Structure 1
Amino acid sequence: MSLFNHLPPWRPSYSSGCFITLGQQLSGEGEDFISKNPMNFQQIIKQDEVQPSRYFSVKVESFSNLIDSIQKALWQDSQYRRLLQELGKGRSVQDYSLDSSSQLHLFEDWVVVPNDPTIQLRIIQKRHDSPLAGHFGQDKTIKLVMWDFHRSGITQFIKYYVSSSQQCSRNKNINHKKFGFLKPLPIPNGPWICFQCI
């Protein structure tokens, strides 16, 4: 234990960005700690334990393809064509700007999405269906989309898309109250006279 003389500095929980991993070599140390105790450095996952069926690949669409599609579709959208012409002439439009590096039409700091259902669908698929996105529900998907994009009425489109997702409807948690105890019918005081099926 005398070889491990590193004490991590105390930080409050909100400012400790990451944890020190077990295999991380601390600064100022050489490779002496490996040779003195070989158990400090060992392979955790052996080669025969790796099975290809446990892993899967994820196809990620590049963001530049989506941006190119948005730029082309904005000129087709009659609502934003006039704003783009005003911004192209150097005039200022309230809350709208034109990004000089990417030539994107911005509403405050969000990329404006044209009224093109295929582009809206691609954005929602990237933020909802992708395994990297997490396949969240309506509220979190709306937040994920609203971090980068702006479109009036896109929240209704997201709600419709998520509610029609088969995987979401199968895996959705039950939100109602727990069922109560069964309440049997009261026991009659005496024998009954007749039985009617009306």
Structure 2
Amino acid sequence: MNQFIEDYVSSCQQCSRKKNNHHKKFGLLKPLQIPSGPWNSLSMDFITQFPLSNNFDSILVVVDIFSKMAIFIPTYGTITALELGQIFISHVFPNMDSNGQTDRVNQILEQYLRILTCWKVSKKLQSVQQVVKEELESTIRRFKKYADRNRKISPDFQPGDKVRLASKNIKTTRPTKKLSERWLGPFGIINKIGRHAYHLKLPLQWKSVHPVFHVSLLEPGKQSSIPNCNQFPPPLVLVEEQEEWEVAQVLDSKLKRGNLWYLVEWKGFSEDPERTAWEPASNLTNSPDLVKDFHSLYPDKPGPTTSRV
């Protein structure tokens, strides 16, 4: 009887969606590979929501994993992936264009340096880097040891297995997060991505949710072994989609930090004093005809061919 009850409760869809788990988090820590030298591997993060200063409200922090040297770059919270790449080129890995005269002077300077180079300093630097590498390895081993105390080896999920997905990172239409279901699904596994991530088969209505998840967000979806134990399918949880406003017309264009922006008027807000706004060109991908009409009327205004790539 105990085995029957345990099997029924553990495979109950209502119970598994509502209850918290009490085991250690799946997935042992997998430290990053130690770089061979400075600036071979970087980490980065944003600090946002600062008071506005010189049109900047955020800081991009870039840290060299080997030397721990950090670069702090002012930016803004609405930065795009293209702008982030441009920041890296200009602040982290600058590669300035040069002319033939500068290259010739560089050759002469290199000749001076060859004569004045102290090889002992170079050898000492190599030994210092080796010591740094050994210390990093020791630190990572200790960190992994402490981190794995609260982790456990993850199940070896296979394609076709059913798993439940933690709802903590899924923004749904439920009015209260506290009373929402803890787990969603079950969903089928399509394949394994890397060592600790899985590609799930999500409902078509979840088109805004990326289907790859870390194993720590998954739980096995146990099926009942009790004969003729049919349970109702789980209700579909509606994911909150991002609202999209419709553009009535394009009024103006400009270049901002080398990127193209458009002044647009929103449809349905004709009486609203905030009916217009400057938007990056990437936000108008669904309004190509309006953009084309604007440039036909104002061919001298900045357009896609004048923006920085």
- Relative to its length, the structure with more strand (as a share) is 2
| Band the TM-score falls in, shorter-chain normalisation | under 0.3
State which structure, 1 or 2, has the greater radius of gyration over its C-alpha atoms.
Answer: 1
Which of 1 and 2 has higher RCO (CA within 8 Å, sep 6+)? 2
